[in-house]
Amino acid sequence: MELPAKIKSKHFLICDDYESMRVMITDSLKTLGISRISSAKSGNEGFKTIIEKIAAGTPVEFVVTDLLMDDGTGIDLAKKIRGNPTTKHLPILMVTSKSEVNYVLESIKAGVNSYIVKPWAIEDLHKKISEVDAKQNP
């Protein structure tokens, strides 16, 4: 199962404070045909990475983030992305173990495009990435 070429060519950023989750998501993205992947261990580091990649000419084009991290949450990251004119267009997929309505609503209010709850299957990740991309690029 692979994603369309227009998605596979995008540069993805994974933000999660657990290295094992960053590795799992990276491996899943690679299985889906994505090869341009960067990672960060917090929302603050993630935003810094986004800005650095823009300056380097290799901009991030899709963000996959955890909700709760030690230094800067996924919601904080979404707010920073949406509040910056250069990054406000970036698609954001929240991947988290928190399924409570208040977390989902707060994430959506912050500008997250979609939400997936752990544990997830690769088919779920494929579906959510495809849906977010279709809404961003009709």
Domain boundaries, the chain: 5-136
> Would you state the pLDDT for residue 138?
66
| Digit-coded pLDDT (tens) for 80-119 | 999 999 999 999 999 988 888 888 899 999 999 999 998 8
> Would you state the pLDDT for residue 104?
87
> Would you state the pLDDT for residue 112?
96
Please state the pTM of the whole predicted model.
Answer: 0.95
DSSP letter (8 states) at residue 43: H
Report in angstroms the alpha-carbon separations of 66 from 5, 19, 126, 134, 138: 25, 12, 17, 22, 26
Is the domain spanning 5-136 CATH 3.40.50.2300? The answer is yes
> Would you state the pLDDT for residue 118?
87
Could you tell me the strand order of the sheet in which 62-65 lies? 36-40, 11-15, 62-65, 92-96, 114-117
- Regions of the chain with pLDDT less than 50: none
What's the angle, vertex CA 92, arms to CA 91 and CA 93, rounded to 5? Answer: 125
11-15 and 62-65 beta bridge pairing: parallel
> Would you state the pLDDT for residue 97?
87
Q: How far apart are CA 75 and CA 54, in angstroms?
A: 21
